[in-house]
């Protein structure tokens, strides 16, 4: 894809996919215009970098559709000083977006090959305030402090309590929650030392994050 075509495709992505999905925050739109999404997409799918779909990364993982990543970033309302945790690094693209609106980003990825890919992408993009760490975020783990924002780059059946416990007071966690065909982006906010309030924001489906608890379903 030639440079002029890339610029046009990025412009169309923002104007035809993202703005119509009520993403109007100028800071978010600016980030989307300067972070090179095409550099975070596997070579085989580079022509789909700006398409309104999930792009496969292998290992059963995907890059979320651009409009969903943009909407999640907008709903977090980051101010620039936050410490952010991402679950599911994938290609590193969401970590790159978050890094532009936060002080630091820690992104956990269960697959070592994808973690290496994400690190390489972030390094080539010159991003120094985002760290990729290999870890199974579905399991409780010892963190070196609390987070002001947590993003789940994939869906879960229910909000994981061990991740909610990592929120600082006033911290927010955003995730796509539920079961197909009904899932909903959900924002949880810690309003006190022992109280978290959650609200449903918008309907959306997303691939499952690996390893998180699922209810047993019996079919007769």
Give the whole-angstrom CA distance, residue 99 versus residue 95: 6
| Residue 109: partners with Cβ closer than 8 Å, 6 or more residues away | 88, 89, 90, 115, 118, 132, 133, 134, 135
Specify the pLDDT at position 217.
Answer: 54
Determine the pLDDT at residue 218: 46
Map out the domains of the chain as residue ranges.
3-203
- Give the Cα separation of 1 and 168 in Å (integer): 43
Q: Counting Cβ atoms within 10 Å, is residue 163 exposed (0-12), middle (13-18) or buried (19+)?
A: buried
**What's the CATH fold of domain 3-203?**
Rossmann fold (3.40.50)
Sequence-ordered list of residues with C-beta below 8 angstroms from that of 44, at least 6 positions apart, any chain? none
List the pLDDT tens digit at each of the 220 positions of the chain: 566 789 999 999 999 999 999 999 999 999 999 999 999 999 999 999 999 999 999 888 899 999 999 999 999 999 999 999 999 999 999 999 999 999 999 999 999 999 999 999 999 999 999 999 999 999 988 888 999 999 999 999 999 999 999 999 999 999 999 998 889 999 999 999 989 999 999 999 999 998 887 775 544 4
Helical H runs in the chain?
3-12, 26-34, 66-76, 93-99, 112-124, 161-164
């Amino acid at each position: 894809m030639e440079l002029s075509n890339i610029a046009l495709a990025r412009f169309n992505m923002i104007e035809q996919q993202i703005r119509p999905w009520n993403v109007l925050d100028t800071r978010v739109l600016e980030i989307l215009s300067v972070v090179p999404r095409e550099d975070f997409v596997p070579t085989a799918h580079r022509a789909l970098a700006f398409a309104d779909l999930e792009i496969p990364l292998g290992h059963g993982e995907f890059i979320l559709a651009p409009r969903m990543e943009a909407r999640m970033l907008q709903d977090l309302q980051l101010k620039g000083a936050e410490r952010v945790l991402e679950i599911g690094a994938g290609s590193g693209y969401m970590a790159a977006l978050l890094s532009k609106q936060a002080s630091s980003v820690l992104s956990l990825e269960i697959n070592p090959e994808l973690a290496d890919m994400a690190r390489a992408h972030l390094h080539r993009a010159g991003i120094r305030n985002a760290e990729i760490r290999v870890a199974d975020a579905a399991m409780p783990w010892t963190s070196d402090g609390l987070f002001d924002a947590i993003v789940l780059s994939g869906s879960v059946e229910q909000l994981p309590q061990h991740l909610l416990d990592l929120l600082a007071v006033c911290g927010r966690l955003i995730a796509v929650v539920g079961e197909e065909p009904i899932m909903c982006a959900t924002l949880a906010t810690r309003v006190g030392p022992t109280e978290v309030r959650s609200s449903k924001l918008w309907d959306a489906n997303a691939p499952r994050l690996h390893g998180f608890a699922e209810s047993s379903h019996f079919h007769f």
